[in-house]
Structure 1
């Protein structure tokens, strides 16, 4: 339930020459005893940080994040009782930045996609020992001034002038008589909602692994890991001198590789005070591994061990899923997936964290959701984002946009591909994401919250099916980023885009029927189950001949097999044909966004496990492990984002931190590791490791809603040894090669079988 606000949004009375600081006095009502409890709620049109009595209220950064601002603006809420424990009057203070509200977003050179004005709202509720309640909030009595941040942009970076910083500004007793007045902004308070998902916070810190001078004389720093966040700088030098940090993910020809950033400057500038300065640009974030440093006092040799610290920033998600194995490249691939998710789950599940984009592309999360919910506890994070998807969809006649929040609709010169209708995979996120969340955590709340959105998407597509019952019209991304496509035309895939579309909507219809069953919505069960069967029939009639699927490529077979669209005889032939195509490719990957999440399952489920392993463990480009051999520490957007000679892919669209193609990690956990869910929320587990590919051991673990589940297997001397942990309140079905199925009760178990 949202809060009933008495505070109002306030903004500086006149435009300032820097990011605003605002402060207001907190005078506690006397005569009511000690402060028993105190809660602060705050939000902003922009991004905001809050202090009470000069001390930070919370570890949160980039509050209130990015939501569908037209209809929903989140607020933070924290217990601040300890900050009022002494019962004395104090000061409530906030700092504002442009963030997503007023900052540059998208590809157009435009600011203020949501509004020209920054504003903050804060409300302190104090409960005293005698039951008295006092409410203090932002109003016309507050004061404002420009702070040390002279400019800030999520894409372009932050500039901070330490000469303008007075550490007393947020403390009691500071003289703000020289500050200006504020005025109230008439923003609709009914739009304010509490967070559903977690806040963005500092997650960890990394020190430089190497500092050196490039061939052109530039000072370069390598933090050893492609990450998302910023660099905290400790420096002392001449007052008025400036240290500049430019960020990028890769090096090219031994220099900073900035072309993939497109127009994003990704540059922070710090003007020194003359004393010992500490800079931390918390109103921006960058995707980077390398930093180019210019203007450091004393040059490269004067950069001390603690001068530069990379601060990793992400939504504060709890890690729950782990995997390791005997093949170091595969283990590194898994860690790359983890880092890719960590960097792109920054309030919104973004496509990339570095260039002039960073948008909540629905196709990326549709592909990746089953992996996401396995690696981290992402339930509330995705529920929060799905609320925005639902709101955007409701205001577009059931159309699920390409990105959520839908920035593309707000761009002044929208690209040619502005969505005019539903699109397979991308729009299917409305169904695939909540289903992944429910299956992982077992709580039907996400289905109840999302069901109308799920149903609206499928019904909208149903109304656009041809007379043949196919989704065979309109724009489709298809198998986006097929590795055989021209780098400048990423939609030119081998897979027929309408075969992909019809397969996807058939899957979505079946999922909505499953969700309706879970929710006890019997009418909708019949509606969507019937539609799913009709789509399956139409798919086979139009696209399948003797086990051959139209366009005869790996993606169409993968979708047809995993989505269970084929009759038994055709299924066997299609599985064989898929294995043939994989072998013909030299066991190189040949799928894009649509096919990649499913190809390993399609192979292993049709008796072609060894082909799946050969595909997984291929190291030549294109493959999952090729980037690992090239030093990647996250998942790339393209299979060849960097070419074997170390040059960057010539396509305009190239990112080195894009999680979608890392969706294979879900299969790695379930099939290689051998731990899967037989019932939503892992109430019943499937333990079925399938060794292969020359691996001698693998281990996977998961903090399920019921406790820790774990599978470890080792192969030696023709024997398969398996150790299993089954959580309390659950059971596990075990399938081992050459052995009878068995049920395991909660506890620790050791099993053996003949190695395959």
Structure 2
């Protein structure tokens, strides 16, 4: 149950930019020791709570971004150990965050509120049961902070001359404060934040400090990351240090063009003493920083980059004998970290940073292997459900859906769109397989079933989803530069295949959850879609309409073909992949499934050749060009070293990293046979000259792991099966072994390379 709220949402009377708010209080006398003290805090904006001059936690950017109209999260902190007798001060530092800052690509801002709001309730319980509540209200005080500007896209400005370090301490200043007033706010919008907080993680030092041709100081951290710079410096009062951030260099200067209108610039004004700066009210996606105004010569030891993302526990590991593949996998991991910052965004650097549903629809299995994303994505799915419930004709393409506030954006306001809207079904099912949480599946079911019902109404009389706007096989590498949806794959084929998968999965969900009528209805819809797909899109000789790699990959992997037709489709897919020179020829919809389709139809060698190709477009091409995250486009950097001239060129997009799921399932060989890995399949498929691989996963039951080696003397696998589970080990020669919990070593004949 949520707390009984006595607090009200407050805002400042006179201070507008990044205000500081506080109240003084003394513990009630005569009730013994404090046995419990819990601070609940939220904001319209972002908030950093302080108690007696010190931060309450390591969290940053609280309470994150949710569908604020219906779900404003609050976070709870246990502060029992910090409350002794005497006077105390509770303080709240505010910033614009997502609620009042810029969002999207049309320079829109303040979509959710025009005034910053703070909400806090400190509940104190004493030994005799007495309760004391300290809550935000009209008696609080406000004053300006040293932050002159803050925006997630544009950056932060801090003037150290204005700092008052004791503002939230009992001996803090008595002057300079003004009043506050209550904001109209319905506390029923408050919901507990079940996901992990955003926190600082790794700290990286520069690998190089150089001068650009124009004389600018450039700092290279060697890794594309998300976060900010932190440093301590001494210089003349009033000196301004300016830091601009970007992911790449262009013509040996800082490459800010791909950021579009996002300024990604922090400014720091020196006090004249020793100043430490850390801009915690913004974040940037960058590898490079351009620093100007630094007093003296900037050295590698003067700065550090702080990596920031949601505090997800790492669960899955992979590596193998091919170092390029290992770097690809590391790029996937860094891409997930950078984009899983409270909301699973498409990119973390330019004027967008939105929770695009299509990215997550295809990346869900990879995400759930690499990190424990159970609560992170369960919270996001609650936002999806809220958006869907309040927009009955629209399945949001981004969640939270800020683009509904934009005018004249008919494409974004389109009704259900295949793959993107299918996240309502595909993602909960991926999480069910990964974690086996029936309650989470049941919670997601209403939105999943609603999507399928809604999409069914969009079918044309021939039973196909070939109507309305579709992104289709977005970013097909053969599409014109300025027409990302102009793919080789027919959009109706893509959409009908995607909806078939959703209907079949929704039927499985309904059956599992005891919704018998729904299960029958969805299964019937799936059958009709499958029949219509075969009738209109598949010829007698197995040619799928539009005859390109994506349509075969989807038809095979989603189960739309059987028997001889499936075999022919697999053979045709292998032909097309070979004809492309084993370079990637699929877009957003097909790429996550093409290696799996080749593998399951007996073309493992072609799948490995596709994976290991190094020329553009391919997964390893960016690696050979120095990528440290997954790119949005295969050619975000062109073979001649120039940055792609398009205006949609991100260097940190996780979606194409969904191939890591194939690395985990096929190369390492780990996948669930039962939800939550109660029973696992361990089935490594060596190939491509890879002589060894390691995969491990912290399942809900414990560690599942495999280490295999394929050497002239034989194939050998060391396997760990978690307690309370069993596994089926399927060796490359087809032999199978039933394994109980524990450690096992199994040997077989060498697999041909």
TM-score range with shorter-chain normalisation?
over 0.9
Q: Which residue of 1 aligns with 2:642?
A: 647
Q: What secondary structure does 1:90 align onto?
A: strand
Q: Which residue of 2 aligns with 1:10?
A: 10
Pick from 480, 484, 487 the counterpart of residue 478 of structure 2.
484
Q: Which residue of 2 aligns with 1:100?
A: 98
Cα displacement (A) at 1:393: 0.5
Residue pair 2:26, 2:85 contacting (<8 A) in 1 also? no
Q: Which residue of 2 aligns with 1:20?
A: 19
Cα displacement (A) at 1:37: 1.3
Q: Which residue of 2 aligns with 1:408?
A: 403
| CA distances 1:436-481 after superposition (whole Å, capped 9, x unpaired) | 1111001112211111100110000111111111001000000000
Residue pair 1:399, 1:457 contacting (<8 A) in 2 also? no
Q: Which residue of 2 aligns with 1:212?
A: 210
> What CA distance in whole angstroms lies between the structure 1 residues aligned with 2:643 and 2:494?
30
| CA distances 1:149-208 after superposition (whole Å, capped 9, x unpaired) | 000000000000000001111100223333101111121110001102111111111111
Q: Which runs of 5+ in 2 are unaligned?
A: none
Q: Which residue of 1 aligns with 2:170?
A: 172
Q: Which residue of 2 aligns with 1:71?
A: 70
Q: Which residue of 2 aligns with 1:152?
A: 150
Residue pair 2:208, 2:300 contacting (<8 A) in 1 also? no
> What CA distance in whole angstroms lies between the structure 1 residues aligned with 2:124 and 2:2?
18
Residue pair 1:399, 1:460 contacting (<8 A) in 2 also? no
Pick from 283, 298, 303 the counterpart of residue 299 of structure 2.
303
Are 1:319 and 2:314 an aligned pair? yes
Residue pair 2:315, 2:698 contacting (<8 A) in 1 also? yes
Counterparts of 1:27-38 in structure 2, within 5 Å, are 27-38=26-37
Q: Which runs of 5+ in 1 are unaligned?
A: none
Counterparts of 1:438-449 in structure 2, within 5 Å, are 438-449=432-443
| CA distances 1:689-715 after superposition (whole Å, capped 9, x unpaired) | 000000010000000000000011101
Q: Which residue of 1 aligns with 2:134?
A: 136
Q: Which residue of 2 aligns with 1:609?
A: 604
Are 1:736 and 2:731 an aligned pair? yes
Q: After the TM superposition, which parts of structure 1 deviate over 4 Å for at least 4 consecutive aligned residues? A: none
Cα displacement (A) at 1:567: 2.4
Residue pair 2:393, 2:415 contacting (<8 A) in 1 also? no
Are 1:292 and 2:314 an aligned pair? no
Residue pair 1:713, 1:723 contacting (<8 A) in 2 also? yes
Q: What secondary structure does 2:355 align onto?
A: coil
Cα displacement (A) at 1:399: 2.6
> What CA distance in whole angstroms lies between the structure 2 residues aligned with 1:341 and 1:625?
18
> What CA distance in whole angstroms lies between the structure 2 residues aligned with 1:718 and 1:548?
43
Pick from 353, 375, 381 the counterpart of residue 358 of structure 1.
353
Are 1:541 and 2:507 an aligned pair? no
| CA distances 1:203-229 after superposition (whole Å, capped 9, x unpaired) | 111111111111110000011110001
Are 1:632 and 2:627 an aligned pair? yes
> What CA distance in whole angstroms lies between the structure 2 residues aligned with 1:177 and 1:30?
28
Cα displacement (A) at 1:652: 1.0
> What CA distance in whole angstroms lies between the structure 1 residues aligned with 2:644 and 2:135?
52
Q: What secondary structure does 2:258 align onto?
A: helix
Counterparts of 1:228-239 in structure 2, within 5 Å, are 228-239=226-237
> What CA distance in whole angstroms lies between the structure 2 residues aligned with 1:296 and 1:124?
42
Q: Which residue of 2 aligns with 1:695?
A: 690
Counterparts of 1:549-628 in structure 2, within 5 Å, are 549-628=544-623
| CA distances 1:271-295 after superposition (whole Å, capped 9, x unpaired) | 0000000011000000000000010
Are 1:461 and 2:455 an aligned pair? yes
Cα displacement (A) at 1:755: 2.1
Moved more, 127-136 or 95-104: 127-136
Residue pair 2:209, 2:217 contacting (<8 A) in 1 also? yes
Q: What secondary structure does 1:702 align onto?
A: strand
Cα displacement (A) at 1:718: 5.0
| CA distances 1:338-378 after superposition (whole Å, capped 9, x unpaired) | 00000000110000000000000001101111100010000
Q: What secondary structure does 1:169 align onto?
A: coil
Q: Which residue of 1 aligns with 2:50?
A: 51
Q: TM-score, normalised by structure 1?
A: 0.98
> What CA distance in whole angstroms lies between the structure 1 residues aligned with 2:108 and 2:465?
36
> What CA distance in whole angstroms lies between the structure 2 residues aligned with 1:346 and 1:273?
32
Q: Which residue of 1 aligns with 2:707?
A: 712
Residue pair 1:398, 1:453 contacting (<8 A) in 2 also? no
Quote the RMSD (CA, aligned, Å).
1.0
Q: Which residue of 1 aligns with 2:160?
A: 162
Counterparts of 1:498-513 in structure 2, within 5 Å, are 498-513=492-507
> What CA distance in whole angstroms lies between the structure 2 residues aligned with 1:414 and 1:490?
20
